Structure 1
Amino acid sequence: MSLPRPDLTTERLHPDDAGIARGAEILRAGGLVSFPTETVYGLGGDACSETAVASIFAAKDRPSFNPLIAHVSDLEMARAYAHFSDLALRLAMAFWPGPLTIVLPLRKTSKLAELTTSGLQTVGMRMPDHTTARRLISAFGGPVAAPSANPSGRISPTTADHVIDGLDGRIDAVIDDGNCPVGVESTIVGFDGDDVILLRPGGLPIENIERCLARKLKHPTFAMQEGDQPIAPGQLTSHYAPQATVRLNADHALPHEVLLGFGPVKNAAENLSQNADLQEAAANLFTMLRRLDATRKAIAVSPIPDHGLGRAINDRLNRAAAPRG
């Protein structure tokens, strides 16, 4: 893990005009600003600056082969950097702004940093459904590369305090605008000819996308192996992980564990949703994992239904529970 810089004090900015202007100023100077989205807090840098994007990787200790999402404030900005097929445009019109990232071919005139795309000829683009995020991007005037604002592989942040806990002294500022309402990262889709491929389940249920397109999404036919290059964020086998080990589909906690419950279960140290509401569970997931990780015990997790937002929750939990290198 890279160490905090003694000469860098992480500013906490308000989501007002002055805070937005200060955040945009930092981005234009090549600095890093964490900002809220509807999914999680992102760690933003100028997506067209190799130096700024390198600083994101350094702050997070993120593998440089793992591509970033370029966040935009409007569709016009996105189309200046990437090609939209009819299918991609249909999805953008239906679900942007929102928790959907679309992987698109780069335009030849694109000035996105190669580190943003990890050298690929595609880029994941998203328009966040959060006024503060879009105001910051618009004030900056270009796409902002922004993975989640946490040390690489660790639990994603849904509050400004979470950001400070992991990255204080490593980034220039965080815009504090409360909790993130969705609580899990965006759904990511790509294309293979006329097929729409699910690359990562997330905050937009795939059923919504399938209804929009009147077709089923395809699922990747490969499993990530050691040495493979991800084509979208969140595809590494071990990811979103607490320090503690995680055991899934548990009906009780063992003596060395604490239980993360779902639904009306007994003896849960934390419960994602007493009423088995998947939207509430998604919003609570990362915050509750952080609380339980602070107990220094292993974490057992109740079964989560694998439909709707449950797919995204289970994806994050499976990666949190995966063996670590």
Structure 2
Amino acid sequence: MRTKIWKVDNIVDNNKIYPQIVDASSLLRDGELIAFPTETVYGLGANALNGQAVANIYQAKGRPSDNPLIVHIGHKEQLNGLVEEIPDVAHTLISRFWPGPLTLIFKKKEGVFPDTVTAGLASVAIRMPDHPLALQLIRESGCPVAAPSANLSGKPSPTTAQHVYEDLNGRIAGIVDGGATGVGLESTVLDITGDVPLILRPGGVTIEQLQEIIGHVEVDKGLLKEKEAPKAPGMKYKHYAPQAPLTLVDGSPSFLQSLVDEKRAEGLRVGIYTVSEHKHLYEADIILEGGTLKDLRTIAENMYGVLREFDHEGPDVIFGEAYPHEGIGEAIMNRLLKAASGRIIKED
């Protein structure tokens, strides 16, 4: 299969219909797989009402079929025909965070989605992305779009069209290239089907932001329980991992350097994933910085790109700094711990 690329300026005139989007949306509507930018990462879209098209997502990504998908919509009103009910808390959250990096889990309306979307669950995850090209593509297609991240399963999520091309060229019909994404981490997933809103995946909207709007919010304690069926995307299996094993280090730069020295003494090529404030403190074969401690959102924006850059540099092992579990730091550490398969060394 030849993968087509449509390059579109992400500064979109909403009064203009772009021929690239018309072409891509037509293929999407007819059951083909199309990658497109959102404000978080690039998504791999399929017509969410077409069971075979959605099944092709799992095949293209090598994704386990018991991992549910997020459905993307182009208008808030589109939600009415897709879910059993829209509780009051949903109206409050939608008015504040949609379009945006917040996925809400609703009780699904029976007979709407194939099981390939929901992995057989009684619920469905839905969001409205905050990216002009994503919205125009979904609206032009005329259908809800199921879209996980547009990468091979287990690899770092793509934040540029080039990342998508590296993973999925020849596996999908096309890529809408709208430049680099913004938030850099996937959406927050919030389950609102129970009595208390429950965060199933931290992401671009922080728990502090949610609490400010709706009060008490809980975080699912079963995020890393591998034996449970996942209730949301990103809750199960290894994710976001570079080719070399990554170990996080919760400690001082001097402690991290001592770990690096040990591995280099063994003849290994060692990489360090750090921040701009600490880069000058280290000696290693490869040192990559991902942002600044002054603004952890810069870490989020650059994280997947840095992890992919390590693949190009070819270290044998990677050590990465840990971050505070506060604000966007919670989502950053969630992704990094998955990328590291839970490996973290803490300084005494």
TM-score range relative to shorter protein: over 0.9
Secondary structure at the counterpart of residue 192 of structure 2:
strand
Aligned equivalent of 1:288: 306
Within 2, Cα distance between the matches of 1:323 and 1:170? 30
Aligned equivalent of 2:185: 184
Match of 1:91 among 87, 90, 93: 93
Aligned equivalent of 2:319: 300
Aligned ranges 1:1-325 → 2 under 5 Å: 8-15=1-8, 17-82=18-83, 83-108=85-110, 110-191=111-192, 193-215=194-216, 217-249=217-249, 251=253, 252-253=256-257, 254=260, 255=264, 256=268, 257-265=270-278, 266-267=281-282, 269-297=287-315, 298-322=317-341
How far did 1:93 drift? 1.3
Q: Is the 8 A contact 1:263 1:276 kept in 2?
A: no
Overall identity of the aligned pairs, in %: 39
Within 2, Cα distance between the matches of 1:302 and 1:227? 29
Within 1, Cα distance between the matches of 2:306 and 2:47? 31
Secondary structure at the counterpart of residue 238 of structure 2:
coil
Question: Which deviations, in whole Å up to 9, do the C-alpha atoms of 1:143-184 show, x marking residues without a partner?
Answer: 100000000111000000000000000000000000001000
Q: Which segment drifts farther, 32-41 or 241-250?
A: 241-250
In structure 1, what residue type is equivalent to 2:64? P
How far did 1:138 drift? 0.2
In structure 2, what residue type is equivalent to 1:106? K
In structure 1, what residue type is equivalent to 2:78? M
Within 2, Cα distance between the matches of 1:130 and 1:193? 30
Within 2, Cα distance between the matches of 1:300 and 1:24? 42
Distance 1:56 1:99, change over 3 A: same
How far did 1:111 drift? 1.8
Gap runs ≥5 in structure 1? 1-7
Given the two structures, how large is their TM-score scaled by the length of structure 1?
0.93
How far did 1:92 drift? 1.1
C-alpha RMSD of matched pairs (Å): 1.6
Within 1, Cα distance between the matches of 2:214 and 2:69? 26
In structure 2, what residue type is equivalent to 1:261? T
Given the two structures, how large is their TM-score scaled by the length of structure 2?
0.87
How far did 1:91 drift? 0.8
Distance 1:292 1:245, change over 3 A: same
Secondary structure at the counterpart of residue 39 of structure 2:
coil
Within 2, Cα distance between the matches of 1:222 and 1:323? 14
Q: Which segment drifts farther, 238-247 or 130-139?
A: 238-247
Q: Is the 8 A contact 1:272 1:284 kept in 2?
A: yes
Q: Is the 8 A contact 1:101 1:126 kept in 2?
A: yes
Q: Is the 8 A contact 2:29 2:142 kept in 1?
A: no
Q: Hey, which bits of structure 1, 4+ residues long, moved more than 3 A?
A: 223-227
How far did 1:275 drift? 4.8
Secondary structure at the counterpart of residue 195 of structure 1:
coil
How far did 1:208 drift? 0.5
How far did 1:104 drift? 0.5
Within 1, Cα distance between the matches of 2:166 and 2:68? 24
How far did 1:223 drift? 4.9
Within 2, Cα distance between the matches of 1:308 and 1:284? 17
Distance 1:241 1:192, change over 3 A: same
Aligned equivalent of 1:5: none
Aligned equivalent of 1:4: none
Q: Higher Cα Rg: structure 1 or 2?
A: 2
In structure 2, what residue type is equivalent to 1:47? A
In structure 2, what residue type is equivalent to 1:229? A
Q: Is the 8 A contact 2:185 2:300 kept in 1?
A: yes
Q: Is the 8 A contact 1:249 1:304 kept in 2?
A: no
Within 2, Cα distance between the matches of 1:78 and 1:244? 42
Within 2, Cα distance between the matches of 1:92 and 1:151? 31
